[in-house]
Structure 1
Amino acid sequence: MKENGKELEYKKKYFWLLADIENIKARYMKEINKTKKIACEKAFKDFLPVIDSLELSYKNSKEEETKSSLRITLKIISNMLKNNNIKVINPSKFEKFNPTFHQAIISIKTPEKENLIFSVLQKGYLINKKLLRPALVGVTCK
């Protein structure tokens, strides 16, 4: 069978429309994923004070039963963070200060080295290698 000019034109338009629909679907899926990512980041950021409070309660608790319950809760939260690609920034003492991941809140003068962390006041967090909250630290200076 021989196709005439009109049939070829309609086929061409049909394939262009199919391509447009595929492009719209791809843009739509990309936008949905971006929105989900932003929503997850906000939800986890809003949850960080709860984690801070639970850790502080655990640290200051005297009763073993309470400590045990808090330990289990913190373990569950730790697994949840790990499963969602959230990493804790908890610098060690005398680690070099890194302004990308740390926020200096206190500084003390020392005759020795400067820009070393001497205290961690609050842990920081990364989500998918993006800073969610910097660690609040005390730093040495000359």
Structure 2
Amino acid sequence: MKNKKDYKRLKEKYKNMLIDFEKSKDREEKKFLSINKFSDEKFIKNIIPILDSLEITLKFSKEKSSINGIKITIKLIKSIFKNNNVIKIFPKKFDKFNPKYHHAIMSIKKNFESNLIFNVLQKGYIMFDRVVRPALVSVTI
């Protein structure tokens, strides 16, 4: 009788250890994928202000030779963003304010429903469903 009990106990213990191992393996795999997925986030955060500056420069530049170089650089940066699943957050006027994606830095008193985006002051960016930089907006109150 004792051998059967020991066998059942060891079998149950082995089964539980195997389940724990699988759970641990899954956790570590998810952790690895997350680290891998967001490893470029810091790099993207550092490039965003450069893209902002280039787009502003393009808007006000009058020299044809400069404009072509700026357009090519912007295109290359946007290509890097696309390859890293970086998506622009640029809400439309009167879209509902969402604190997950928007950062209100100004409030506008108008005869509109409250918590609507009135103006986008700076576009934001998302990388793999995670906000890298929220869009800076003014909202109605």
Match of 1:67 in 2: 67
**1:30 positional shift:** 5.9
**Whole-Å Cα distance in 1 between the matches of residues 63 and 116 of structure 2?**
35
**1:35 positional shift:** 3.6
Q: Give the secondary structure class of the aligned counterpart of 1:39.
A: coil
* Alignment root-mean-square deviation, CA: 2.5
Deviations 1:102-139 (A, max 9, x none): 00011110122222222211111111111111001111
Q: Does 1:99 find its partner at 2:99?
A: yes
1:100-139 pair list within 5 angstroms: 100-139=100-139
**Whole-Å Cα distance in 1 between the matches of residues 98 and 26 of structure 2?**
38
Aligned CA distance change for structure 1 residues 96 and 32 (closer, same or farther; 3 Å): closer
The gaps in structure 1 that reach 5 residues or longer are 1-18
2:63 maps to a residue whose letter is: E
Match of 1:76 in 2: 76
Runs of 4+ in 1 over 3 A off after TM superposition: 23-38
The gaps in structure 2 that reach 5 residues or longer are 1-17
Match of 1:16 in 2: none
Normalising to structure 1: TM-score of the pair?
0.71
Which piece of structure 1 moves more, 58-67 or 87-96? 58-67
1:6-17 pair list within 5 angstroms: none
Deviations 1:59-115 (A, max 9, x none): 222223322221221112112211111101011222221111000011110122222
Aligned length: 121
**Whole-Å Cα distance in 1 between the matches of residues 116 and 56 of structure 2?**
24
2:114 maps to a residue whose letter is: E
